[in-house]
Amino acid sequence: MVVVVTMGRVVPRTRVAGGRSYRCRVTVSSRRGRADPLLVLLALAWLVAPPLLGFIGAFVKALALSGEQPNAYQIAQAHHWWRVALVVAVSLPAAGLALAWWVGRRRAVVVCLVALLASAGAAAAVLVDLQPAPTPAPKVIPCQAYSGGSNNCPGG
């Protein structure tokens, strides 16, 4: 059996030996073949890079080895690494989605869309926790008069 193949076009009925006619359509494009390794690399990077960057942020925050609380600089550095991890976690599936859409890989589009939605949801939840806590209002000390003439009033 002989089938005539052309790139991306439906071949009109082609006569081959034996008088039979066939139609064929090429489903493999040159873009698809080159995009598959890139899609795999994006998936592996999405699985490895965000947890690694998040671990770096946690390690930076936990550098106070003597049991003391981390200072403001360490907390800011940890938050920086976590924000970088969130950007990477959202941008890699977005790049995979764009690439899969461009080459016409339907399953890869669905997988990248699910990964993008999961990453965006996780990023939204983590960003809420990364917001700095509001500074508490200063305590108002009521004026208290003590016996013996001393008082605790401001200016008095």
Which residue(s) pair with 151 in the sheet? 145
More reliable by pLDDT, 35 or 85: 85
Nearest to 78 by CA among 59, 102, 104: 59
Q: How sure is the predictor about 153, in pLDDT bands with cuts at 50, 70 and 90?
A: low
* Average of per-residue pLDDT across 145-151: 62
Mean of pLDDT values over 30-35: 70
pTM exceeds 0.85, yes or no: no
| pLDDT tens for each residue of 95-137 | 999 999 988 888 999 999 999 999 999 888 888 877 776 777 7
Which residues, including other chains, have CB under 8 Å from residue 46's CB and lie 6 or more apart?
89, 92, 93, 96, 115, 119
Nearest to 54 by CA among 82, 22, 78: 82
Asked if pLDDT for residue 54 goes beyond 50, the answer is yes
Q: What is the pLDDT of residues 59-69, one digit of tens each?
A: 887 776 667 78
Q: Please report, for the chain, the start and end positions of each structural domain, with discontinuous segments joined by +.
A: 31-130
